[in-house]
Chains A and B, each alone.
Chain A
Amino acid sequence: AQSVTQLGSHVSVSEGALVLLRCNYSSSVPPYLFWYVQYPNQGLQLLLKYTSAATLVKGINGFEAEFKKSETSFHLTKPSAHMSDAAEYFCAVSDGLTGGGNKLTFGTGTQLKVEL
């Protein structure tokens, strides 16, 4: 069984400050890991994914995440927050096989608030 745990259901940062959203995973097989973002009243959008090619993954909108096997973590960071980053962020894991690899197990989400 696979699972992800997102630490902190709400995170608040100032505009221009570092964004750090935490995700820890549990998987019995080498995992595929993802970060998705959900803006109000919209569907989810893929930010970035880890598929074992490189431990530091760069995504859209200046976000990146680092896969750390020893810590079973896949934290999402952005050096400088922008007001438009305010949204809900979901970490997800897949075994790459179930449902054609499209069975994702999502965390409970972290709501990011960006303040002036």
Chain B
Amino acid sequence: DAGVTQSPTHLIKTRGQHVTLRCSPISGHKSVSWYQQVLGQGPQFIFQYYEKEERGRGNFPDRFSARQFPNYSSELNVNALLLGDSALYLCASSRREMGPGELFFGEGSRLTVL
């Protein structure tokens, strides 16, 4: 079975631009979470979606938004990019009936903001 897939794997943007990151969960997984991992730090929770509804949001500005589609794939959007948005963005999926925190992570999208 395919794991969590993310695209693009690498991208470079300039300050003020907009970026869209995409995630396809493992087949059968209805929950998608997004995390930001800045170099040298642990991942930080951004959003969690289940059945197309936002179920949790981390301490990130409104420039960050996300959505989940009927096929359970998800997009993370970041507007007005700042240098500090440079990070590895990780998507994770899980089945609702799994225990808390049993997440399957993709390999991430590495964003560089110049």
Contact = CB atoms under 8 A, between A and B. Distances in A.
Interface in B97-111: 99-108
A83 interface: no
A99 B33 contact: yes
Given A96-B100, A99-B48, A100-B56, A45 B105 contact: yes
A107 to B, nearest CB: 5
Most chain A CB inside 10 Å of its own CB: which residue of B47, B90, B103, B108: B103
Interface residues of A, number: 28
A102 B42 contact: no
A92 B101 contact: yes
A34 interface: yes
A102 B105 contact: no
Contact of B43 (A44, A46, A94, A100): A44
> Which DSSP category, helix, strand, loop or mixed, fits chain A's interface?
mixed
A107 B44 CA distance: 9
B100 A94 contact: yes
A107 B42 contact: yes
A87 B56 CA distance: 29
Interface string B41-67: 111110110100001111000000000
B49 to A, nearest CB: 9
Interface string B5-39: 00000000000000000000000000101010000
Interface string B78-94: 00000000000010101
Contacts of A36: 105
12 contacts: A43-B106, A49-B101, A92-B101, A94-B101, A100-B31, A101-B101, A102-B33, A103-B56, A104-B35, A104-B45, A104-B101, A109-B42
10 A-B pairs with least C-beta separation: A99-B56, A101-B100, A106-B42, A43-B105, A99-B48, A96-B100, A44-B105, A94-B101, A103-B45, A102-B33
